[in-house]
Amino acid sequence: MEERDEAATVAATEPVRIEIVGERRHAHDASFRGRVVTEALKPGACVAELARRYGICRSLVYRWRRMALLEAKPGAAVRLLPVRVREPRAETASSEAPKPRALHQPGLIEIELANGIRVRVDSEVSLAALQRVMTALRG
């Protein structure tokens, strides 16, 4: 018992360096990261489920996905649509005073789809909302 007390006294009075060695981070190869990112970019993909299945942290999936999107070729996701510019139609004669065309307001954009549907938005429109509307109208 005396020996244990002496060891405790020595440990308490002398400076001791303690190193805690944890598990090393795993270096994932490019093909593994590519597989994970490809799955993460699929519509409806659940990052938490994906991370659990591959045994990695969710934050890694988010980081790899963000890096992949930033490294993507500029314009790769851009889809150009044909645009026609035409003269405004002549308004039909009526007894009422002509209504001012909303298109002349600054910042107003009018989009006419091939099926004749027109969408008018101003500079205050939410990009996300406009994308949802356009997707719904095209579908």
Phi, psi of 112, deg, nearest 5: -115, 120
Check residue 49 and give its pLDDT.
93
Q: Which residue has the tokens 């490809």?
A: 38
3-state DSSP assignment of residue 112:
strand
Check residue 53 and give its pLDDT.
93
Among 128, 106, 110, 129, CA closest to 119:
110
- DSSP secondary structure of 8-31: HHHHHHS--------PPPP---HH
- 10 Å Cβ neighbour count for 14? 7
List the chain residues with pLDDT less than 70.
1-16, 18-24, 73-79, 89-106, 139
Check residue 36 and give its pLDDT.
92
Residue ranges covered by each domain of the chain: 26-74, 102-138
Q: Which residue has the tokens 């298109």?
A: 103
